[in-house]
Structure 1
Amino acid sequence: MRPVSTRVRVSALGAFTALSTVMAMGTATAQTQLNGVWGSFTRCPVDHPTMLAADGMTDTALCVSSHSASGVIKLGNTTVPTGASDLQIGVVTHPDGGSTLVSPAGGALVADSATLPGGLLGLMCPSNVPVVSGVCKSITNATLNKVTATIESVNSPSDFQLLAGTTTGEPIVTLPVRIHLQNPLLGDKCYIGSAAKPIVLKPQNVTQPEASTEAFDANGTSNPDGVMGRINLTGANQGDSTFTVPGASGCGAGLLDWAVNLKTGLPAASGKNSVALNGASTYVATINDPSTVAPDQGKALAQYWHSAVK
């Protein structure tokens, strides 16, 4: 297999560490299926102007994709499981070691919903406050009790540290999120965190991933002499326990915010919250030798991505 160039290898080693959590669908490529080795990069924002402008001489465009089957996030007194998650971003590396992050339209993170243990009874009940006790008494079946929680992206990731992925205990990226709680009695607009006051995660590697590389053709077909390179990093656990959590909003049209906050222990200061992501599989893809397509490396990457669409 043709080795990945040194410059690309350095960029990718940092890129692989992006968090593998959770978020809202909504991109034009959300349902895209790609051939072969390209298969993990279905939402890479290759057509974004920032990605297209990468010249391959000073700036290099990469696709980063990270997946985790499960995880858990602790918010104050409440532990919320996370469903399967998919993080995809575009990264443009710069000569000074910095980088620009590009989110797919609709958000960097997509996640399955998870059922909150104990449901609404566990979230708010029992209570001797008439309004809340009335809600508690109205929970007469599993449907009314069930609460689903989904971690969603808000705003854009930032502060990407390219070399943090080569070690443990160093923040990799700043990722603003919110938790969407859904239940017939809470309504559809109940959130912990918001765009104005997000939960700001700064994940780091807790364990080192296992690393391997492979090369492939522009259309995704595996080929040891292919023009594309992919770094595979599997089995890493990631986490953060430094973030603060704001109070809930919009629950029961806002009338039940305080009840959720009281039982959950929100707002919660740093040190009372944590997130853990299990067995992340992260992939980084870019053109093996950017100089061969300079000054149009970003455009070539987009062309290759589109050639792999099924």
Structure 2
Amino acid sequence: MPPLSTRTRLAVVSALTALGALACPGAATAAEPALNGGWAPFTRCPVDAPAMLAADGVDRTPQCVVSTSARGSVKLGRTTVVTGRTNLQFGVVQNADGTSSVVAPPSGALVADPATVPGGLLGLMCPSDIPVITGICRTLENSGLNRITATMESVGAPYAFDQTAGVLTDLPIVALPVRIHLENPLLGDKCYIGSAADPIVLRPRNLNYPEAGVGFFQGDGTPDEAGEMSRIDLTGATQNDGAFAVPGATGCGLDVGLINAAVNAKTGLPSASGNNSLTLVDTRTHLTGLNAPGTVVPDAGRILAENWHSAVR
């Protein structure tokens, strides 16, 4: 990227200082319901989605899937960010021909904690030989104005779900289209890496075999070996994807072209497949559905939804 002019640098610093006074936390998200017993992990399963309700239990069988990880890391080009908790949830309609359809919750399949980008915004323009910028760098170093957070978000329903891959290694489990929201007062609220039209598509796979278990519970979640619901639990696997490509950042800052270029230069974007990686540590995956869906034809989807709602505390 060509060097910035003194006038442009001063404009950037002035905008940073002014916008810092307007910075405020993001809007709160709606609280998820607390569910009883065996239903507890499935707080966002889209049981009321038309495709789930229409599942009859013979040609189409409804299930709920959730996969969580407490920590991990993502490498985009030259930048590696340590990630916090991730929570992926969706519904699945298993078809009689062996295929499946994924149904995303209305709020999106993936919910992830924001992660802090190393170096922050001042890494884009500091150190500098311009005295006023040097002074700003010293003043704002380690302040909230320097901090950039990156939050991974869904930009479409997951697809290509392979239930068998979840218990094996080195096979893609699901395709997950996402974008990464970069947030800082100077970047504005529309700074993203990836988009609905050009997403980052993650295809995590197990690096080791998970520990597997099966449990049973009543429709309202109460544990019961003779219950009408079953749950598969897969725990302890590390998941990874090192094959995805990453597009350049868009929509960043007051001077969109300038800040986009700065973000892309810092992170090494766009970045081709092979230069990026996602790792999720100690994943915990749960899958639940009716024990004998064929006995409630054609109402399997409706009964699954009724059971989920009966478990809300």
- TM category (shorter chain) comes to 0.7 to 0.9
Give 1:173's aligned residue.
Answer: 174
CA distance in 2, matches of 1:80, 1:204: 20
Instruction: Check the 8 A contact 1:180/1:189 in 2, yes or no.
Output: yes
Aligned residue for 1:185?
186
| Residue matched to 1:156 | 157
- SS of the counterpart of 2:186? coil
What are the Cα deviations for residues 4-38 of structure 1, in whole angstroms up to 9, with x where unaligned?
Answer: xxxxxxxxxxxxxxxxxxxx9967xx521111111
In structure 2, do the counterparts of structure 1 residues 152 and 218 end up closer, same or farther at CA, with 3 Å as the change threshold?
same
Secondary structure at the counterpart of residue 231 of structure 1: strand
- In 1, Cα distance between the equivalents of 2:112 and 2:160? 22
Q: What's the secondary structure of 1:143's corresponding residue?
A: coil
- Report SS of the residue matched to 1:46: coil
Separation in structure 2 between the aligned mates of residue 85 and residue 76 of structure 1, nearest angstrom: 21
The one-letter code sitting in structure 1 at the alignment partner of 2:226 is D
Identity %: 55
The aligned amino acid for 2:265 is L
- Please list, as runs of the form range in 1=range in 2, the aligned pairs for 1:276-287 lying within 5 A after superposition: 276-287=279-290
Task: Specify whether residues 139 and 207 from structure 1 end up closer, same or farther in structure 2 by C-alpha distance, changes over 3 A only.
Answer: farther
Moved over 3 A (4+): 24-27, 125-130, 133-139
Unmatched runs of 5 consecutive residues or more in structure 2: 1-26
For the aligned residue pairs, the C-alpha RMSD in angstroms reads 2.1
- Structure 1 residues 134, 187: closer, same or farther in 2, change over 3 A? farther
The amino acid across from 1:140 in the alignment is: L
CA drift at 1:288? 0.6
- Alpha-carbon separation, structure 1, partners of 2:151 and 2:28: 12
2:270 to 267, 272, 277: 267
Structure 2 contact 179–195 (Cα < 8 Å) conserved = yes
> Secondary structure of the residue that 2:271 maps to in structure 1?
coil
Whether the 8 Å CA contact 2:77–2:269 is kept in 1: the answer is yes
Gaps of 5+ in 1: 1-23
Structure 1 counterpart of 2:116: 115
* Number of equivalent positions: 282
Q: CA-to-partner distance for each residue in 1:249-302, whole Å, 9 max, x for gaps?
A: 111131300011112110000100000001011111111111121111111100
2:302 counterpart residue number? 299
Contact 2:206-2:237 within 8 A present in 1 as well: yes
State the Cα distance separating 1:139 from its structure 2 match: 6.3
Aligned equivalent of 2:90: 89
Q: How far, CA to CA, are the matches of 2:150 and 2:128 in structure 1?
A: 26
CA 223–134 in structure 1, closer or farther in 2 if over 3 Å, else same: same
For the residues of structure 1 that align with 2:127 and 2:201, how far apart are their CA atoms? 31
Structure 1 residue aligned with 2:15 = none
Q: CA deviation at 1:126?
A: 3.4
Kept after mapping to 1: 8 A contact 2:187/2:259: yes
1:177 and 1:193 in contact (8 A); partners too: yes
Q: Alpha-carbon deviations, 1:191-248, whole Å to 9, x = none?
A: 1111111111111111111001110011001111111111111111111111110001
* Contact persistence 1:25–1:106 (CA under 8 A): no
- The TM-score, its normalising length taken from structure 2, stands at 0.85
Structure possessing the higher radius of gyration over alpha carbons? 2
Cα separation, 1, equivalents of 2:163 and 2:235:
18
CA-CA distance at 1:121 after TM superposition = 2.8
The 1-side partners of 2:127 and 2:50 are apart by 53
